[in-house]
Structure 1
């Protein structure tokens, strides 16, 4: 392998500035900024590193990429596990994927998906009991 390509965008660099310069407070760290060894046996390609998200989307539209791909909500770099509270199990992740798909589908049906910047489900390892009767 000769190259490592990353989707780093300028806000990632800005938010991670302190880790590189030590001159600012870290807003948040990014898995794709400053986490690589100083010397690698491959080149690093970051074609979007100096662009903001709206600029990346504009280029994507010019290239003919699908709107849904360019305007989808962000997904955590560490993966689905950060949306499972407590122990992460395959069955929890499977259930969470199904719940998230239903939630996103309902947002799209109600024409709300593009009106919110993020929407997602979280797996809570608790059981609750539904009450039937007076309020149902």
Structure 2
């Protein structure tokens, strides 16, 4: 079981369902959510600013690609910079409703991405993710 998981998705229904599935599967103790990449970066900015020992640092990020304000690719571009280097070992699973071959190709540019999976999240998917993290 993970201590902390970050789920970045703009759809409130998807977030609610994912929280339910993750909780039922006992996959993570804490589930942090962000509605877009910018909100997720603000979360990491607060972690950097507070610099406390009791941080809720996610061990895994589930990331949607298509979101308003800041999408998944833009988030990854910012997140993989030196500013967030202390968090670059956090693994990312792309969770998208479409599997575009260009997106699959683009995902190979980011070493933090473990896999590219299709929504919706399921208990079986979490079992699979447990084997690769």
Q: Which has the higher strand share?
A: 2
Q: Which has the higher helix share?
A: 2
Q: Which has the larger radius of gyration?
A: 1
TM more than 0.5: no
The TM-score normalised by the length of structure 1 is 0.29
Q: 1 or 2 for the larger relative contact order (CA 8 Å, sep ≥6)?
A: 2
